[in-house]
Chains A and B, each alone.
Chain A
């Protein structure tokens, strides 16, 4: 097992373009999270999945953002019509997902987005 992997690691795009990030969680983990982090700030919660179900989405998240986890394994995060304010590190994390158990989140190395 190689941990949480994210792709691409870096993405530079022009304003108005669409981008998609992929996350592969640790294989036996049922929960998957997306966070966004900008310089000097802590990770900000975006959304999370329990298996294939998206259970919560931040109310701060624009409609331009959408996430999927179609088969309960990997997940994609798409940003449509990117804006310069979307420039950030997008972090994916996963956890076991056992009911009633407080769990550690394991983070991937992140996908850094730069919108020109």
Chain B
């Protein structure tokens, strides 16, 4: 079993729609969770972090965490063409490194 699994893409959504990205993780010791966005040919950049169960909203992005189910998700509301990228889920375990999923590629159709 992979440490971090994300829903396979690519995910294609029309402009203005909601993109829903899912991530499950195997390390029950994970306490912190990060979502990174990576444009093609570029390095990852942090867009959201979440530490507690429930929802966390930041602009058009909402992260949801359920530690009992070992599940974290990211919603992108009012999707824009500039949101077209690969989104990486990264739980953080008891040490100081992040483990990344393979990513879900999102394409927003104009």
Interface size of A by CB at 8 A reads 22
Task: Write the chain A residue with the least CB distance to B44.
Answer: A107
| Additional pairs, 4, CB under 8 Å, beyond known A43-B100, A50-B96 | A44-B100, A102-B31, A102-B92, A105-B46
In the complex, chain A residues whose CB is within 8 Å of the CB of B82 = none
Asked whether any CB of chain A lies closer than 8 Å to the CB of B98, the reply is yes
Could you list 26 A-B pairs, sorted by A, with CB under 8 Å? A31-B96, A33-B97, A40-B102, A41-B103, A42-B4, A42-B88, A42-B100, A42-B102, A42-B103, A43-B44, A43-B88, A43-B100, A44-B100, A45-B97, A45-B98, A45-B99, A48-B97, A50-B96, A56-B95, A102-B92, A104-B34, A104-B49, A105-B98, A107-B43, A107-B44, A109-B43
Q: Find out whether the CB atom of A108 lies under 8 angstroms from the CB atom of B101.
A: no
Interface-centre pick from B4, B34, B43, B103 (highest chain A CB count, 10 A): B43
A106 → chain B closest CB, angstroms: 8
CB within 8 Å of B: which A84-116 residues: 91, 95, 102, 104-105, 107-110
Task: Write the chain A residue with the least CB distance to B33.
Answer: A102
Q: Find out whether the CB atom of B49 lies under 8 angstroms from the CB atom of A102.
A: yes
Interface size of B by CB at 8 A reads 23
Binding site for B on A (CB under 8 A): 31, 33, 35, 40-45, 48, 50, 55-56, 91, 95, 102, 104-105, 107-110
A21 → chain B closest CB, angstroms: 14
Q: Find out whether the CB atom of B42 lies under 8 angstroms from the CB atom of A109.
A: yes
A40 → chain B closest CB, angstroms: 7
A47 → chain B closest CB, angstroms: 9
